[in-house]
Structure 1
Amino acid sequence: MTSRFTIDEKALLTKFQSGDRLAFDKIFTLYHSSLVFFANRLLLNIGMEISKDIVLDIFLKLYDRREGFETLSNIKAFLYISVRNSCIKVIDKEKVHQKRFDLYTKNFDEFERNVLDIIIQTEVYTELYHAIDLLPEQYRLIMSKIVNGETAKEISEELGIPVSTINTQKSRAISLLKKSLSGAGIALLMIYS
């Protein structure tokens, strides 16, 4: 003997498999609110809107695969398993975001100090380069090369000037720079002395 529910289920499933919109709506109505509740419980505090979006996406997948289901139980299992898997993906993404945020906040003070140090260093270098630009031409040329990391010997070979002349002009340039630089600029200048 066949029950009325079995006949209705078979008819609903047949219509659903053929793409009938009313059959899809009935299946949607049958499971939607339960799946949203399920997703929301799995996601804890992430948000109801995300739960609803997940469920809608799963129903779209269900519709695309409608021909492969033989019973409503298969559909129900597919829906719950798919929602669970999607929730796990969302939770994993949230964990990654949380780790990044935690790392950022943990290192924020250090990062801010580094940024401030770099700003100060940049300002001091700017002051030094501006002061070097105001030097007489030969001093400016020598100090620019020194600040860029060249040695007196390299500058001597490049310009065809004795090393002693390079060192003398460097000393005179430093003496002139000391008069025009702030304390921080002078401290930086001492690195090149």
Structure 2
Amino acid sequence: METTPDISPKSLSEEEATWLHLWQTDQSKFMEVVFKRFYVPLGRTVNRMLNDQDATEDIVQEVFIKIWNNRENLQFNFSIKAYLYRSAINSALNYLEKSKKTVTLESDSMPEPSHSDVEETFNLKEVETHIQDALNNLPPACKAIFVLSRYEDMSYREIAESLQLSPKTIENQMGKALKLMRDYLSIYVRNMMVLLF
């Protein structure tokens, strides 16, 4: 029987308590409610990690399929949200490992902007692209933690619970992620400064 780590029922939010009650009384309704609540946020998180819509859809659907297929043996003894995020992120990390989608950080991979591109340099879409490139260059664990913190607005405690890591590990990984992203984006900023001055 697959179980999740114990957590005191008092520490569950009202929403979590409702889901837990549904799981125990009407698993079909539970799946419907939880699917509607988490399909899009899980997809957003996984897609930011993989940057591959097809793989994202497969992974998120598989998370829900596994819950349904294991419903006879699965017991939720803690946060359902944490369980879903942990399952989705672990699957995404496994996918990255199998497909070797990690890209090495190379400073010469940044194109040198020309003077005619000054206006375009400030294009929001371009900035977003550089941020996504920096995100894609993070190690998978750092990337997962960064996405949960910055895009899903999860606290370090929530991330630690979801990934079954200590809050200190989350803090250290976020520090590492921020440093790597700053280093990567500093190349872009230096190129912009050359254009401006």
TM class by shorter-chain length?
0.3 to 0.5
Q: More relative contact order in 1 or in 2 (CA 8 Å, sep 6+)?
A: 2
User: Larger % of helix: which?
Assistant: 1
Q: TM-score, normalised by structure 2?
A: 0.39
